[in-house]
Amino acid sequence: MKNLLWLTPIVLSSSLILPACDKGRENPAPISQSSPSTTATKMSDSELEKAIRAKLESDEAIKQANLSVSADVNDNKATLSGTVVSQDLRNKAIDLAKSAQPGLTIEDKIDVKPAA
């Protein structure tokens, strides 16, 4: 029995130390998952509108159409409205707006009225 007495402090200290080694696993760091509606830093509505306008203004014909943009980052949705002279310009405006943010849904309120 005296030979096993030296083992007692080792067993007791192990029972106190080893559970502490598992503490990191109880509350692991949150895993960030990239989804269409989330970004590293969430944009505000006005920042998303500015990003869309910047994309639209990169094309001179669309820039001259002066389309209106409104955005809702919570729904990852934007509305384009105004008038363009062709269906091609309408499609291009929608594609450019979609490229401003992954997964962005565009509500199209753009009218096509060919130049007279």
Q: Say whether pLDDT at 102 is over 80.
A: yes
Residue 93 burial (C-beta neighbours within 10 Å; 0-12, 13-18, 19+): buried
Mean pLDDT value across residues 73-88: 95
The number of distinct structural domains making up the chain is 1
pLDDT at position 107? 97
Residue at 17 is within a domain:
no
**Which helix (DSSP H) or strand (DSSP E) does residue 23 occupy?**
helix 23-26
End-to-end, the C-alpha distance of the chain in Å comes to 107
pLDDT at position 14? 67
Residue at 74 is within a domain:
yes
Residue at 10 is within a domain:
no
Residue 98 burial (C-beta neighbours within 10 Å; 0-12, 13-18, 19+): middle
pLDDT at position 35? 47
Q: Name the β-bridge partners of 84.
A: 112
Domain region containing 93: 45-112
Residue at 37 is within a domain:
no
Residue at 33 is within a domain:
no
Residue at 11 is within a domain:
no
pLDDT tens readout for residues 38-71 = 444 678 999 999 999 999 999 999 999 999 999 9
Residue at 102 is within a domain:
yes
Q: Phi and psi of 37, rounded to 5°?
A: -95, 0
Residue at 19 is within a domain:
no
CATH of the domain at 66: 3.30.1340
Mean of pLDDT over the chain: 81
Q: Say whether pLDDT at 32 is over 90.
A: no
As a dihedral over the C-alpha atoms of residue 48, residue 49, residue 53, residue 54, rounded to 10 degrees, the angle is: -30
